[in-house]
Structure 1
Amino acid sequence: IANLPEKTQLVFTLSRYEELSYKEIALQMGLSIKAIEKHMGKALKLLKSALNEHLLSLLILSDYFL
């Protein structure tokens, strides 16, 4: 999460940890709901990609040690 762009990280944190709605986040940040949706999509895409890289590394290491 720390590697996400600043606004994207804030949107993700407010949504997932503070449990704010997209509308509440949009009002707080002065952005449109559509912009919040785009930031969340970007956050989820980047986090999924990072997780996939780590999982691949773990699978390779687990094969090495088995």
Structure 2
Amino acid sequence: MLVNRWQQCKASFHSITISHTYREANFSADTAAKEGANLNENVIHEFVGKAPWLLKWESPFALYFRFID
């Protein structure tokens, strides 16, 4: 049963941290989502290495700020 499995999984961890990154700060995911939204139906693009339209990589140790009104 799923509940029992979840209880077993929880018991194996000392702590669980859930974090969230706004899409605006995840430049790769944001750019890929925009590119994918512009594809025609049933079109697949595959790349070896970095996609040519992916110009900016986010740094996992950099601070990014989101300003809202």
Q: Judge same fold: TM > 0.5, yes or no.
A: no
TM-score of the superposition, structure 2-length normalised? 0.27
Name which one, 1 or 2, has greater alpha-carbon Rg: 2
- Give 1 or 2: higher helix fraction: 1
TM-score of the superposition, structure 1-length normalised? 0.28
